[in-house]
């Protein structure tokens, strides 16, 4: 960590590992462009014999991809909104407000992170059914408005690092707690909020168990679930499966590239030595 | 749901990290993040505002909808949609909307939909869940969907196995719409090369391995025949046993003939080594291997269902058109050892069920009749079955001229249809807890065949039967 | 004014409180109650006392499905969590070397963890196909037999599986390496180690360079510095990842469901607790038994976490106050 001249061994090791990690993705994209006959043929050739962009067209034709995409976007947008709203409110209460039982309940919240989801899955289902939310995206979005322990924890840490003087000054000016939260805390915690939004977006995009339990109308399926159904339908046509998978992955990868800084900085939220 | 935990936990870690150190950059961070957010929001808003989904066929306003769930995907789905279209075109009252739920979890989704309060109007299923659902009052028996007289007519109209599949507690709950029957496919060309007889007798079947894949051989690329542990359900019947006595409601999975069947299946593992058998079997199930292992040349004889006939014919056509030698294949019913049953086996099938909360049982009934052929639709059903390569559920459909023509053109398929009339074709037990029953027996046989150190068959089956009896007792309790 | 402050505070916390009551406490209590009942969600629960727990105990003792599920879960967690820690730290260390193009490498290592689970499952099922997959092709290119992967119930940690393979190879028969379905799952999870790696990377960056300087002055080489400076300073994060990684591995559901097509095969080798529980509840319609299993799972996780916390005193080194 102290040497500045590039070490050939180090470089080789890094390149080897990078190849190992990147190869499956590259392979996925390449195979998705191969004609069906080439996939099982031997000897194995890396590059497609012919670049069948048609495969993607076939996926589009055989399944209402755009509908599923729209459902995913709706689901993600709703989840992100719900999460940001609820977690920032609750985190502020834990971080800066004084009220009886605060520390005890904070401990309880930490403990709930240990709870396996299987313990609560059946009662949750029944509860959401009573609310009439079976077979609707609402069943997946509503719970996000009730906060999430991990994100609350993260935001609380961040709030605690914001100097109290700013809030004091606002209070002196006549702001209520609501005003403090809205005018001081929210803007200043933008990096943390961005992180939470990003992680929640990806989690909602990925969510499979939720639609598995709660959705039975194909009009409402998000991409993650629709892709699984697609795989079951066309299980022997690898080129189509991989093309569909690539189409499912690309939006997230694009998002990742645009928000890399947020992503990685968010993870090292305290700031990395530099 | 639990994908949350993956990202949650790194978010949490960053919280800890920030707690540990208090440095944070803020102006630069603010600017880039805000920009990203704004961009994302605009894109999302545009997407949602602009996109107007064109849903699949919506019922015309003058018709009543029948929401029909099924699990067919890929090419089969095209056939299904064709049947649906023909039905919708043939009358003005009902409109069937077919929804495909491929994969193994249709029964799960159905159950959730009933629990969730929004079941479909008609469902197609092939898992042994009929009894469980009927027992819990989730299904409408056919004598309620139609009436008692019609239900009785249907019962006598069906082939015996089709009737057995759908009957629970003396009432018909499911209307079979296609039977799946299994027999032995053999590579006639290969057998002739080895001067072997087709596996139509017990001796012939057992001799094949000795010639095609002698155990002393170091590397075996092709086996004569290997039994599949899941098919103990078939071989137990062939050996003269039964797994469940419906009249008394007792589990008889550990009776002597069944033990004999399992011993015979294990003899293959013992001859070749459980390891080798397991490894060779693993090679069968590759993702791309939708073609039968028989066609791929891995076996000389394979037990499989009637749907493989199409593949064989397609492969033969392909060989013929590209000028390659055409291999001949044959079909033989499962041969039986002395004391066993002829034309026996395990039968399964697809059956329609009408959920209790169905909004349009009349429409569901009309569609069921149309598909299966009952009540004057025999000719239509013959067309459907010929198109889908399905075995009709009634001798009346088989007798239709169009179907007889189809059979003459497909002699291999005809052999399967002959078996449909045999009383020795037995389905999985129709009892609550059947899923558990089925899983346990299969698991027991898998353990027996793939592990060298498994206990004697008698012991394994007795223990399995005990467990199954305990479970069934719980399930049938009021 | 203190009362008004409390009310305001409670208003702020209310979303989470509602969530706590409805999505945590009620389900907790309900599932506990149901674990003593026979319940199928469509009719009323019937009290049957400890029968469900007795059945769990029975299956555990006699090698029933529950025992198999527990064993599979322990195998998967026991293999994937330590390996991901080792791999994560190794990659993070490699990334903290001063070479050019660091950002590119970091992105490449992190990218796989961003790929959605469903796509990952499809991709790896294909990559690990015994006859057509790339991995087996590469293995045979270096002269090794391939693995059965998702089609095999073998286990790489099983001595009997290895001895069977070796004896097959010795007698010249064709054999596959005992790399089975669970090992394939572990491999798949390791591909997504980028998550963990980035956390380690951030923490490594936080280690004060004075410590390294001091160590160098004392004559410590790179390996020594690793053992006596880097790892102890990383120990809080390692501990944290250990706990969270275990919880994640025990609850893992989606990818296992996808690769085994919801069946837990082949031959029950990927039937982990979360899948077994799910199938028992929704395929076998036995909510009572499933609830009992969920509770046993919860207690198990709790005990393991507590045990880990206890042992952490011996090897986790906190620098200053943690919170």
Contacts of A139 in chain B (CB under 8 A): none
Q: Which residue has the higher pLDDT, B435 or B396?
A: B396
Q: Return d(Cα B125, Cα B128) in angstroms, integer.
A: 9
Average pLDDT, chain C: 85
> Residue C268 in contact with residue C256, Cβ under 8 Å?
no
Tens-digit pLDDT profile for residues A10-20: 888 889 989 99
Q: Any CB–CB contact under 8 A between A88 and chain B?
A: no
Tens-digit pLDDT profile for residues C73-83: 999 999 999 99
CATH-assigned architecture of domain A63-233: Orthogonal Bundle (1.10)
Q: Which residue has the higher pLDDT, B154 or C174?
A: B154
What is the per-residue pLDDT for C323?
33
Closest CA to B129 of B140, B118, B138: B138
Total-model pTM: 0.81
Tens-digit pLDDT profile for residues B69-80: 998 877 788 888
Q: Return d(Cα C122, Cα C77) in angstroms, integer.
A: 22
What is the per-residue pLDDT for B9?
63
What is the per-residue pLDDT for A1?
46
What is the per-residue pLDDT for B3?
55
- Where does the pLDDT of residue B66 fall: very low under 50, low under 70, confident under 90, or very high at 90 and above? very high
Kindly state the average pLDDT of the residues B294-313: 87
C118/A208 Cβ within 8 A: yes
Residue spans per domain, chain A: 63-233
Residue C274 has pLDDT above 70, yes or no: yes
What is the per-residue pLDDT for B445?
92
Tens-digit pLDDT profile for residues B457-470: 999 999 999 989 98
Q: Which residue has the higher pLDDT, B34 or A160?
A: A160
C9/A97 Cβ within 8 A: yes
Q: Which residue has the higher pLDDT, B425 or B22?
A: B425
Q: CATH class for domain C54-315?
A: mainly alpha
Q: Any CB–CB contact under 8 A between A138 and chain B?
A: no
Residue B34 has pLDDT above 60, yes or no: no
B12/C244 Cβ within 8 A: yes
DSSP B102: -
Q: Any CB–CB contact under 8 A between C260 and chain B?
A: no
Closest CA to C277 of B233, A213, B373: A213
Contacts of B33 in chain A (CB under 8 A): 190-191, 193-194, 262
Closest CA to C270 of C71, C72, C121: C72
In Å, how far is B2's CA from the nearest CA of chain A?
7
One DSSP character per residue, C94-150 reads HHTS--TTHHHHHHHHHGGGGS-HHHHHHHHHHHT-TTT-HHHHHHHHTT---B-GG
B29/A265 Cβ within 8 A: yes
Average pLDDT, chain B: 83
What is the per-residue pLDDT for B22?
37
Counting residues of chain B whose pLDDT is more than 90, the rounded percentage is: 28
- Where does the pLDDT of residue A265 fall: very low under 50, low under 70, confident under 90, or very high at 90 and above? low
Tens-digit pLDDT profile for residues B196-250: 889 999 999 989 988 888 888 877 788 889 999 999 999 999 999 999 988 888 8
Residue A141 has pLDDT above 90, yes or no: yes
Q: Which residue has the higher pLDDT, C171 or B18?
A: C171
What is the per-residue pLDDT for B38?
59
Residue B31 has pLDDT above 50, yes or no: no
User: Which helix (DSSP H) or strand (DSSP E) does residue B329 occupy?
Assistant: strand B329-332
What is the per-residue pLDDT for B21?
38
What is the per-residue pLDDT for B8?
64
Residue A112, both tokens: 């709930």
What is the per-residue pLDDT for B235?
94
Quick check: helix, strand or coil at residue B61? coil
Contacts of C199 (CB under 8 A, 6+ apart): A267, A268, B10, B13, B14, B17, C88, C237, C241
Residue B52 has pLDDT above 60, yes or no: no
One DSSP character per residue, B242-285 reads -SEETTTTEE-TTSHHHHHHHHHHHHHHHHH-HHHHHHHHHHH-
**Which B positions 334-363 lie with beta carbon below 8 A of chain C?**
none
Domains, chain B, in order of start with CATH, read 64-180+347-420 (3.40.190.10), 182-346+431-476 (3.40.190.10)
Q: State which residue of chain C sits closest to A38, comparing Cα positions.
A: C132
- Where does the pLDDT of residue B28 fall: very low under 50, low under 70, confident under 90, or very high at 90 and above? very low
Looking at B9-23, B313-327, B361-375, C115-129, which range is the least confident one?
B9-23
Closest CA to B86 of B353, B370, B390, B362: B370
């Amino acid at each position: 960590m102290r040497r500045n001249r590039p070490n050939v061994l180090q470089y080789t090791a890094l390149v080897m590992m990078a190849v190992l990690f990147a190869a499956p993705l590259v392979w996925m994209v390449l195979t998705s462009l191969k004609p069906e006959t080439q996939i099982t043929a031997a000897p194995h050739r890396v590059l497609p014999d012919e670049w069948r962009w048609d495969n993607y067209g076939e996926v589009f034709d055989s399944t209402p991809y755009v509908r599923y995409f729209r459902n995913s976007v709706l689901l993600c947008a709703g989840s992100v909104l719900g999460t940001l709203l609820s977690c920032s409110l609750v985190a502020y209460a834990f971080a800066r407000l004084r009220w009886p039982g605060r520390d005890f309940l904070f401990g309880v919240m930490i403990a709930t992170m240990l709870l396996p989801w299987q313990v609560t899955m059946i009662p949750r289902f029944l509860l959401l059914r009573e609310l009439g939310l079976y077979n609707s995206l609402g069943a997946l979005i509503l719970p996000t408005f009730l906060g999430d322990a991990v994100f609350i924890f993260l935001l609380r840490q961040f709030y605690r690092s914001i100097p109290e003087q700013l809030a004091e000054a606002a209070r002196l000016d006549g702001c209520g707690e609501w005003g403090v939260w809205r005018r001081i805390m929210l803007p200043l915690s933008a990096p943390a909020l961005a992180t939470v939004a990003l992680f929640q977006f990806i989690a909602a995009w990925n969510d499979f168990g939720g639609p598995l339990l709660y959705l039975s109308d194909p009009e409402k399926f998000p991409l993650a679930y629709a892709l699984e159904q697609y795989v079951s339908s066309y299980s022997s046509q690898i080129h189509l499966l991989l093309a569909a998978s690539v189409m499912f992955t690309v939006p997230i990868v694009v998002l990742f590239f645009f928000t890399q800084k947020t992503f990685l900085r968010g993870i090292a939220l305290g700031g990395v030595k530099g | 749901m639990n994908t949350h935990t993956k990202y949650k936990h790194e978010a949490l870690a960053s919280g800890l990290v920030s707690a540990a150190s208090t440095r944070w950059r803020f102006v630069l961070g603010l600017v880039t993040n805000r920009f990203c957010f704004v961009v994302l929001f605009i894109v999302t808003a545009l997407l949602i505002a602009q996109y107007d989904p064109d849903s699949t066929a919506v019922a015309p306003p003058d018709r009543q909808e029948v929401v029909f769930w099924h699990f067919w995907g890929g090419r089969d789905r095209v056939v299904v949609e064709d049947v649906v279209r023909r039905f919708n075109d043939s009358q003005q009252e009902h409109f069937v909307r077919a929804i495909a739920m491929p994969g193994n979890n249709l029964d799960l989704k159905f159950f959730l939909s009933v629990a969730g309060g929004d079941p479909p109007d008609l469902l197609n299923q092939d898992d042994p869940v009929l009894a469980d659902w009927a027992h819990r009052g989730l299904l409408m028996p056919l004598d309620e969907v139609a009436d008692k007289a019609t239900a009785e007519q249907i019962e006598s109209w069906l082939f015996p196995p089709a009737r057995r599949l759908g009957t629970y507690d003396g009432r018909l709950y499911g209307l079979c719409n296609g039977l799946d029957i299994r027999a032995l496919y053999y590579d006639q060309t290969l057998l002739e090369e080895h001067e072997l007889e087709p596996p139509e007798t017990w001796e012939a079947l057992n001799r094949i391995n000795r010639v095609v894949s002698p155990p002393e051989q170091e590397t075996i690329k092709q086996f004569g025949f290997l039994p599949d542990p899941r098919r103990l359900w078939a071989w137990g019947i062939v050996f003269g046993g039964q797994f469940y006595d419906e009249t008394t409601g007792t589990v008889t999975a550990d009776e002597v003939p069944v033990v004999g069947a399992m011993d015979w299946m294990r003899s293959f593992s013992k001859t070749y080594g459980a390891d080798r058998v397991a490894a060779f079997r693993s090679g069968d199930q590759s993702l791309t291997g939708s073609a039968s292992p028989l066609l791929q040349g891995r076996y000389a004889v394979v037990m499989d269902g009637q749907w493989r006939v199409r593949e064989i014919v397609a492969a033969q056509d392909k060989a013929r058109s590209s000028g390659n030698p055409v291999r001949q294949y044959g079909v033989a019913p499962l041969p039986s050892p002395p004391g066993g049953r002829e034309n026996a086996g395990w039968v399964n099938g697809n059956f329609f069920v009408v959920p209790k909360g169905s909004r349009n049982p009349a429409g569901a009934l009309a569609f069921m009749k149309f598909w299966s052929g009952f009540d004057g639709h025999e000719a239509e059903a013959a067309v459907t079955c010929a198109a889908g390569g399905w075995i009709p559920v009634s001798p009346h459909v088989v007798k239709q001229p169009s179907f007889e023509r189809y059979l003459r053109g497909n002699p291999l398929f005809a052999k399967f249809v002959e078996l449909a009339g045999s009383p020795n074709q037995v389905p999985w037990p129709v009892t609550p807890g059947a899923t558990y029953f089925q899983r346990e027996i299969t698991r027991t046989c898998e353990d027996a065949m793939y592990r060298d150190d498994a206990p004697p068959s008698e012991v394994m089956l007795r223990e399995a039967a005990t467990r199954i009896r305990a479970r069934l007792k719980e399930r049938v309790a009021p | 004014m203190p009362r008004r402050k409390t009310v305001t505070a409670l208003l702020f916390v209310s979303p989470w409180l509602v969530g706590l009551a409805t999505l945590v406490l009620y389900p907790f209590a309900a599932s506990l109650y149901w674990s003593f009942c026979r319940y199928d969600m469509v009719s009323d629960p019937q009290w049957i006392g400890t029968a469900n727990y007795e059945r769990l105990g029975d299956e555990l003792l006699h090698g029933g499905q529950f025992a198999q599920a527990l064993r599979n879960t322990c195998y998967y967690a026991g293999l994937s969590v330590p390996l991901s820690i080792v791999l994560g730290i190794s990659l993070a260390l490699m990334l903290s070397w001063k070479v050019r193009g660091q950002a590119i490498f970091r992105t490449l290592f992190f990218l796989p963890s961003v790929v959605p689970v469903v796509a990952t499952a499809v991709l790896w099922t294909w990559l690990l196909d015994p006859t057509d997959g790339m991995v087996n092709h590469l293995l045979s290119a270096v002269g090794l037999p391939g693995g059965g992967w998702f089609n095999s119930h073998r286990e790489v940690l099983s001595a009997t599986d290895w001895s069977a393979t070796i004896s097959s190879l010795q007698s010249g028969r064709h054999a596959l390496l005992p790399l089975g379905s669970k090992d394939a799952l572990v491999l798949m999870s390791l591909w997504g180690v980028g998550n963990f790696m980035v956390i380690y990377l951030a923490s490594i960056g936080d280690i004060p360079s004075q410590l390294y300087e001091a160590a160098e002055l004392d004559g410590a080489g790179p390996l020594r510095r690793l053992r006596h400076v880097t790892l102890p300073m990383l120990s809080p994060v390692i501990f944290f990842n250990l706990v969270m990684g275990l919880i994640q591995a025990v609850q893992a559901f989606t990818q296992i469901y996808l690769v085994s097509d919801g069946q837990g095969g082949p031959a029950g080798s990927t039937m982990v607790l979360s899948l077994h529980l799910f199938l028992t509840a929704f395929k076998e319609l036995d909510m009572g038994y499933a609830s009992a299993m969920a509770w046993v799972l919860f207690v198990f996780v709790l005990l393991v976490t507590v045990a880990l916390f206890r042992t952490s005193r011996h090897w986790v080194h906190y620098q200053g106050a943690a919170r």
